[in-house]
Chains A and B, each alone.
Chain A
């Protein structure tokens, strides 16, 4: 049985991250909290550093829950992208995640759209 205290596998929470033209599209999966948000941070920021996209699209359709540490990762990704004039899109938000973004007043900071396709088209 795996050691539950071991660091989460980054690929478990970020199962897919790819380039799509001048965008990076990442799908996140599962509940994201203080235990695994560091792995999300590492994976996302490295990909952004390596690829320097104009657009970062984060598909949160399989993320039913995230806490403030996950929100902090999103904000850090946004800050990094903004330094080079890039944008961050959040797509497929589930209700709990949407509620958290609203209470943190982040729904107006990020570009929130329904689907990846809509984000890539903008």
Chain B
């Protein structure tokens, strides 16, 4: 079985993979990591590998990977206040129409969708991550969870 992740932290990165049956099987992976920035690369590369295996082209894979990185970095910085030992759960599933990626945190529950929007000024740092998500994902939503934190869902369609 192809391995999508390599463990990089003291808390094991656990992953599971599921293939469904049928003429157009959807495939899914699930990753559980802690909120250390050292895990960003492994998660990104796992999702990129998954997207490649599900026949997204190289440009799309790169854009999907960066979006996952940005979403996860936002969780680390804002939902968890840069604490490095908090849980993040990432899933990816794909079918003939799209790839769907979710990030679940148990952080401070601040919903990024409710934050005031500030137009991006290229002369000042910050805000590039959200621009990437807006540009390279077809849908991005944030759902508050009853046990705390946020579930972020990102969808990238094949035919954009």
B131 touches A71 (CB 8 A): no
Contact of B73 among A4, A69, A99 (CB under 8 A): A69
| Known contacts A35-B36, A109-B123; 7 further A-B pairs (Cβ under 8 A) | A5-B9, A35-B37, A67-B70, A68-B73, A68-B127, A72-B125, A105-B122
Per-residue CB proximity of B101-126 to A under 8 Å, as 1/0?
00000000000000000001011111
A-B complex: 4 closest residue pairs judged by Cβ atoms: A72-B125, A68-B128, A35-B37, A68-B129
Residues of B participating in the A interface, judged by any CB pair closer than 8 Å: 8-10, 36-38, 40-41, 44, 59, 62-63, 65-66, 69-70, 73, 76-77, 84, 120, 122-129, 131-132, 135-136
B70's nearest neighbour on chain A, judged by CB, is A68
- Would B122 and A34 count as touching, CB distance under 8 A? no
Question: A75's contact among B9, B70, B125, by CB below 8 Å, is which?
Answer: B125
Q: Are B62 and A68 in contact (CB under 8 A)?
A: no
13 example contacts (A-B, Cβ-Cβ < 8 A) are as follows A4-B8, A34-B76, A35-B40, A35-B41, A68-B70, A68-B127, A71-B128, A73-B125, A75-B123, A96-B66, A103-B132, A104-B128, A105-B120
CB within 8 Å for A100 and B66 given contacts A68-B132, A72-B125, A105-B120: yes
* Interface size class, chain A: 20 to 34
A118 at the binding interface (Cβ < 8 Å): no
Q: Which of B70, B73, B122 has the most CB of A within 10 A?
A: B122
Beta-carbon nearest neighbor of B136 in chain A: A103
In the bound complex, how far is the Cα of B84 from the Cα of A71, in angstroms? 22
A106: interface (CB < 8 Å): yes
Alpha-carbon distance between A113 and B41 when the two chains are bound, in angstroms:
28
Please state if A33 and B123 are interface contacts (CB–CB under 8 Å).
no
Chain A, residues 41-81, CB within 8 Å of chain B (1/0): the string is 00000000000000000000000010111011101100100
Within 8 A of B (CB), among A1-56: 4-5, 31, 33-35
Residue of A at shortest CB range from B84? A5
**A109 engages B122 (CB within 8 Å):** yes
Are B124 and A104 interface neighbours, CB within 8 A?
no
